[in-house]
Each structure stands twice: as C-alpha cells, then as structure tokens.
Amino acid sequence: QKEVEQDPGPLSVPEGAIVSLNCTYSNSAFQYFMWYRQYSRKGPELLMYTYSSGNKEDGRFTAQVDKSSKYISLFIRDSQPSDSATYLCAMSGYSQGGSEKLVFGKGTKLTVNP
C-alpha cells in the first residue's frame, strides 16, 4: 500500500463549479499536510499548509484534514480557467537520516472549462 493515495483524474469541471480534491494516507506519523499546484512545465507551488485536523480557508481555497480517518481534502470555490493545473497533496514525513521530507500523492489533473 502506498503511503499517500490520490486519484489522478483527470477532472473536468465548468467555470464557477466547486471542486473537491482528496487524498488518503496510511502513515499516522504524518504531522503536516500540504497542497501544491503545478502548472505544466513548472515546479510545484505551495497553496495550503495545515498541521491539525479541521478546516483552513484562504480565499477560494479550503483545506480540510481528518486525522482520525487519515483523509485530507482541498475545496476550490468559484473555479476559474486559471485554476487548471495538477494538484498534488503532500505530507511531511521523515527520511533515513531523520531529515523532514515531503511525501507526495500522484496529483490530480484539473481542467476548468470556460
């Protein structure tokens, strides 16, 4: 079983729709949870960062963490064509040697149609 599972999609929605992206994880040692956005031919860009169960809102984006179910979500309200990208969930774990590392999901490719 992979440490982080994410449905790769693709997901296609009309402009203005509410988008829901999800990841599950198996390692209960993960403490921090992130969502990255990656445009084509670019590096990942941090969107949201949370470390506890509950909701965190930033503009049109809401990140939700449920540690008891090992489940995280990202909601995008009033989606725009500029939101079209691949969304990666990531969790903070530890490498051999003890350094923090990010463990990523596969990414979900989102297209928002005008």
Partner 1 sequence: ETGVTQSPTHLIKTRGQQVTLRCSSQSGHNTVSWYQQALGQGPQFIFQYYREEENGRGNFPPRFSGLQFPNYSSELNVNALELDDSALYLCASSPGLGTDTQYFGPGTRLTVL
Q: Which of 15, 45, 58, 66 binds partner 1 (CB under 8 A)?
A: 45
CB 15 → partner 1: shortest distance, Å? 26
User: Which residues, 6 or more positions from 41, have their beta carbon under 8 angstroms from its beta carbon?
Assistant: none
Name the token pair of 42.
């670019």
Residue 92 touching partner 1 (CB under 8 A):
yes
CB 114 → partner 1: shortest distance, Å? 26
Name the token pair of 79.
């989606």
Find out whether 99 and 45 touch, Cβ atoms under 8 Å. no
Binding site for partner 1 (CB under 8 A): 4, 6, 8, 32, 34, 36, 41-46, 49, 88, 90, 92, 94-107
